[in-house]
Amino acid sequence: MKDGDPQETVSVLKDGLFKGKGAVVSGAGTGIGRGIVTRLVGLGMDVTGLGRREEPLAETAEAVKEMPGSFRYQSCNVRDIEALEAAIEEAGETHGIDLLVNNAGGQFFAPATEISRRGWDAVIDLNLSAIFTATKAAYPYLKSRRGAVVNMSLSGVERGSMGLAHSIAARSGVLGMTRSLALEWAGDGIRLNCLGPGTVVTSGLSDEAARALLDGLLAATPMHCETSVEEVAELTAFLASPAGRLMTGQLIQIDGGAHIGAGLHMIGAA
Ligand X SMILES: NC(=O)C1=CN([C@@H]2O[C@H](COP(=O)(O)OP(=O)(O)OC[C@H]3O[C@@H](n4cnc5c(N)ncnc54)[C@H](OP(=O)(O)O)[C@@H]3O)[C@@H](O)[C@H]2O)C=CC1
Find the helix packing angle between 130-145 and 165-184, rounded to 10°. 20
The DSSP bridge pattern shows strands 251-254 and 191-197 to be parallel
Q: Which CB sits closer to ligand L4XM7KOE, 159 or 179?
A: 159
Residue among 135, 103, 131, 98 at smallest CA distance from 33: 103
Residue 152 binding target from ligand X, ligand L4XM7KOE, none, CB below 5 to 8 Å by type: ligand X
- Least distance (Å) from ligand L4XM7KOE to the CB of residue 37? 17
Q: Contact at 8 Å (CB) between 112 and 165?
A: yes
Q: Considering CB distances under 5 to 8 angstroms, the limit depending on partner class, which of ligand X, ligand L4XM7KOE, none binds residue 81?
A: none
Decide if residue 40 touches ligand L4XM7KOE (CB under 6 A).
no
One-letter amino acid identity for 18?
A: F
Q: Give me the least distance between CB of 141 and ligand X, in Å please.
A: 19
Instruction: Provide the 8-state DSSP code for 205.
Output: G
Angstrom distance (rounded) from CA 206 to CA 202: 6
Question: Minimum distance from CB of 222 to ligand L4XM7KOE (Å)?
Answer: 15
Residue ranges binding ligand X (CB under 6 A): 26-27, 29-33, 50-53, 56, 77-79, 103-106, 126, 152, 154, 197, 199-200, 202-205
Q: Which does 51 bind (CB under 5 to 8 A by kind): ligand X, ligand L4XM7KOE, none?
A: ligand X
| DSSP notation for 4-62 | S-HHHHH--SPTTTTTT-EEEEESTTSHHHHHHHHHHHHTT-EEEEEES-HHHHHHHHH
Q: Which does 33 bind (CB under 5 to 8 A by kind): ligand X, ligand L4XM7KOE, none?
A: ligand X
* Residue type at position 196: G
> Which positions lie near ligand L4XM7KOE, rule CB under 6 A?
106-110, 114, 116, 118-119, 122-123, 126, 154, 199, 204-205, 209-210, 213, 217, 264, 267
